[in-house]
Amino acid sequence: MVRIIVSLMISIILMAGGLYADGPAIGEAAPEFTLNDTKGNSYSLADLEGKVVVLEWTNPNCPFVVRHYRDDLMPALQRQYAEAGVVWFAVNSTHPEHRDYETDESLNDIFTEWNAAYRGQLVDLDGSVGRAYNAQTTPQMYIIDESGVLRYNGAIDDDPRGNQPHAERVQYFQNALEQVLGGETVEVSTTRPYGCTVKYTKDT
């Protein structure tokens, strides 16, 4: 309970703009990475040229992440866009000395229970990839187009507390992804993410 309260307090600060930063520039090449997932598979962005790639920063101990998975919001999107050929990765940048850290086996168990349908959960133990993307919150969403260009960075929707019916939310991320898949200009390419802070070190 204390962990949840603290996470929510931090999130309020983030939504007020205290720690928010824009991250890498929209319309420019997304930062390169090579990471292993929780099952030992290695993935590099360079190897995914020609594919639309989604990066979803995550932490299963964040109540915002829990809500999006328990309500089947994130898994439903993952399933839908996997069928459209999108390569979707969750990315976990939690530092091993932080209390929110989970082993690969534990992460596999948790997200299997939640019916996750991503390609893999990438493990960014030193936080270098998260910092390259300036990932601030869990969840935080990024869309990279077939040419490796960053097209979206921000929130999944406009409803941090989950108070609105799903149909009434502005689906920032999904709208942007549909536009990328349709070869269109993304109308809203940057939004303010909400959630818990990314746990880059044991002190955050």
Domains belonging to the chain, first-starting first, are 2-20+50-197 (3.40.30.10)
The answer to whether 151 and 142 have CB atoms below 8 angstroms apart is: no
Give the integer Cα–Cα distance in Å for 84 and 99.
37
Model confidence at 23, pLDDT cuts 50, 70, 90, reads confident
CA neighbours closer than 13 Å in the CB half-sphere of residue 145? 20
Model confidence at 202, pLDDT cuts 50, 70, 90, reads low
How large is the angle between the packed helices 63-70 and 73-83, nearest 10 degrees?
A: 60
pLDDT digits (tens, 9 = 90+) for 66-112: 999 999 999 999 999 999 999 999 999 999 999 999 999 999 999 99
Q: Mean per-residue pLDDT for 48-69?
A: 98
